[in-house]
Structure 1
Amino acid sequence: MKELAHMGHKVVIITSDSNKLAAPPQLDAGYLLQEVDGIQLWWVRTMKYTVAKSMRRILSWLHFEWRLVWLPKKSLPRPDVVVVSSLSLLTIFNGLWWKVRYKCRLVFEIRDIWPLTIIEEGGFKSTNPFVWVLGVVERLGYKYADAIVGTMPNLGAHVRNVLGYPRPTHCIPMGVDADLYAVPAALPDGYEKMNFPKDKFIVAHVGSIGITNALDTFLECAQAMSASLHIHFLVVGDGDLRETYRLKYAHLNNLTFAPRVAKTMVQTVLSQCDLLYFSVHVSQVWQYGQSLNKVIDYMMAGKPVVASYTGFPSMINEADCGSYVPAGDVTALQNEVERYAQMPEEERVVIGMRGKNWLLANRQYPKLAADYLAIMLDLKAPA
């Protein structure tokens, strides 16, 4: 949206102050208007929640929809396009109303495939009433939106499964702002000395340490390779399972749990590693592909990436900057780590740089914004 504003378009973003991915201001009233990077940014005060899997989160969604109904719309420019970006799916109701009221186009943007995600990874049953309701809402959006956009490249297969017939879908993946990576921040004093062993081949996971990160395969691989003294496994980050894992694998000399670093320092950490790792659980969700910020960070570091991933391949295979092993397969991961460790450093550099160069050529925001604009306005996509 910021890039569209730079292109001269009037852009309005409406979001909740319960947004966990943002740093909202203090709201003393129901709504707050800010001008940020050429964007008209509306904050909506809604019920707060701390636990993602909770009734308060659902109530917060409903509160947002109610507030959206009463948003002072006279302050808004008349829209040509309304984009409903999940989560929450419930906003599709307001989106459909605005489509009729303003005779504008409606884009349904999917960043998380719900309710499939909570069925596959959240422990919910497909017969759960909440899941059923979300399924109805999802079908409504897919059926009546003018365009369907997803961050995942194979969303069309899911839409066809849900509706029972195909509809055109578009992929606008997560992007990269090269300026944010230009000058990585230095690590705290003593951090490198304490956490990066010298003269070792370092395989690293950098990010959250929770149930969705599926780190058991990585840690079991470290245990299986404990006799390979030239290889060291590194986990950088924080999360619900950090302490559990740290205690369970405390006996391993080839494994280090390093403290979380600021986002501005992530590239500095990655530059000290030789092979970067990410993993997922076996889940139907991944049949539709991925576009994860973690993978973007990894590829921008110019390092090869190995993924424990069973699903629709994207990014890593497109850039030819690493490899996949089946999710949960410790032996396959062990063999792949050893292969990279034996590879000449010059060859690893070539592989890693393919990833960075591919991102800069295909995933910078000016290109993504132009592609998105063509979808929004139903124009021919730029070449």
Structure 2
Amino acid sequence: MHILYIHQYFASRKGRTGTRSYEFGRFLVGKGHRVTMLTSGLANPEFPVPKGRRYTEHDVDGIRVVSVAGGYNDPHLGTTLTGWLRMLKFYEFARAASRAARELDRPDVVFATHTPLTVGLTGISASRHFGVPFVFEVRDLWPEALVDVGALGNPLAIWWLRRMARRIYRRADHIVALSPGMKEGIVREGVAPSNVTLIPNASDLDLFRPDLDGAAARKRLGLGDRFAAVYFGAMGLANGLDYVIEAARILAEREQDHIVLVLQGAGGKRDELTAMARRLDLRNVVFGDLVPKEEVPAIVAGCDVCLTIARPGKDPTWSPNKLFDSLAAGRPVLINIGGWLGDLIERNACGKVVASDRPATLADALVDLSQNRALCEQMGRNARALAEREFDRNLLAARLEHVLTQVVSHANAEHSARTIH
């Protein structure tokens, strides 16, 4: 089976963002399938497009990567742009990718993964051009997710995105959703439940492990022997990391100097956050630079707990990579958004849910865990067990392979029936 896989933000482990598409693509190649990955080559140190070229081709672990001169590849860059400029860049990638797709070998199926939503337009275009089925993966419900965190308020833009989402959902032969809530949202738009498969984000069990040595990372970050909590990922509006800064201020006020908070990553709000920490003279906040994904596990191994933080109002259907990596690392998770993930953490006793509007509850949880190392270690063991039991990357990749195979088989059967008649 030849799969045309479309992901604007595609990155391998040498990149600086999520690697779901890389890991799934590598799994599919290992099963004997051909994978052609369409991605943006702009702001992309891994797969750049030289000036004057429309696209270039690369090979990464058997995946044929076609990077086009349109949009941008780094989602952290997107957090620094205005909403209208981001949308312009999204359309730019969709157009460039649609043109490039027509020059590629005919696939058996087109698989496009959102975000952004506009990749679905490329998926529809390529599917029609080649006359093959189209599968769409939903990683966030747009426009709801943007509205909830205050990133989108224009009524016309909201209407336009909702209209686009419905069009893509109804055109897709099958849809993959990353959380139960996302599946429910898609079904509310009129899609049959049988046409939506739940495949959540996964844990990279070989990359993030409890037995990694984090001593060098602790030393580099200057953590000493303090109890460390780490947030790793984007630092944009939706992430709401002023919540963490406020929790650090409360800890400092309480003279809980044995606790340190590590903010590892980049984004549009990073400068504002560093200025806030500096203004409050916080000695218990450490900022780490954005690094390739393959370097993150050592940093997590050097810390005691992981933070999954979002701005109040964040859609509780979300499915952030960082939480599943934290589980694989065998670290307790402190999360400030409820929903299915909050329930998951509490039900499996692998962390705590703290109030999204009260940073003091994060401070309380950190004090509690720092004073009960046995509980902290047990939660970490529970986290790793949960990752192995329910979120093994290979198990979930096999589920995607099954979806794609079934869609192709169904399309071929329909074609044969039409030919006979």
Q: Contact (CA 8 Å) 2:140, 2:182: kept in 1 or not? A: no
Q: Percent identity?
A: 22
Counterpart of 2:145 in structure 1 is 117
Gaps of 5+ in 2: 1-24, 408-421
Aligned to 1:260: 289
Q: SS at 1:178's partner residue?
A: coil
Partner of 1:26: 49
Q: Distance in 1 between matches of 2:65 and 2:305?
A: 40
1:269 partnered with 2:296: no
Partner deviation per Cα, 1:222-275 (whole Å, 9 max, x = no partner): 33333343641322335232322222321x45x232433634443333333333
CA distance in 1, matches of 2:121, 2:303: 47
Contact 2:120–2:136 (CA under 8 A) maintained in structure 1: yes
- Find out whether 1:174 has 2:201 as its counterpart: yes
Aligned residues, how many?
368
Query: CA, structure 1 residues 248+163, in 2 after alignment: closer, same or farther (shift >3 Å)?
Result: farther
1:100-148 alpha-carbon deviations (Å, 9 max, x no partner): 4444221111123222232222442251x23322211100112221111
1:281 to 1:356, Cα distance in 2 relative to 1, 3 A: same
> Which of these residues, 214, 219, 226, is aligned with residue 240 of structure 2?
214
Is the CA contact (8 Å cut-off) linking 1:187 and 1:265 kept in structure 2? no
The alignment partner of 1:114 has SS state of coil
The answer for the alignment partner of 2:380 in structure 1 is 352
Unaligned runs of 5+ in 1: none
Give the whole-Å Cα distance in 2 for the aligned partners of 1:61 and 1:44: 13
Matched, 1:140 2:163: no
Q: How does 1:164-313 map to 2 (within 5 A)?
A: 168-181=195-208, 187=216, 191-192=220-221, 195-198=222-225, 200-225=226-251, 226-229=253-256, 231-237=258-264, 238=266, 239-250=270-281, 252=282, 255-260=284-289, 262-263=291-292, 264-283=294-313, 285-286=315-316, 288=317, 290-313=318-341
Q: How far apart in 1 are the matches of 2:249 and 2:36? A: 51
**1:327 has 2:356 as partner:** yes
Q: Deviations over 1:338-367 (max 9, x none)?
A: 332332x23321210221232234333321
Counterpart pick for 1:79 among 93, 100, 107: 107
Q: Distance in 1 between matches of 2:391 and 2:213?
A: 20
Cα separation, partners in 2 of 1:108 and 1:318, compared to 1, 3 Å: farther
Deviation at 1:327, TM superposition (A): 0.9
CA distance in 1, matches of 2:250, 2:99: 59
Could you tell me which of 34, 53, 60 is aligned with 2:82? 53
Q: Cα RMSD between the aligned structures?
A: 3.1
Q: Which AA in structure 1 matches 2:164?
A: V
Question: Post-superposition shift, 1:368?
Answer: 1.6
CA contact (8 A) 2:83 2:152 kept: no
Any idea what SS the aligned residue of 2:246 has? helix
2:28 is the counterpart of 1:4 = yes
CA distance in 1, matches of 2:386, 2:218: 34
Residue aligning to 2:16 = none
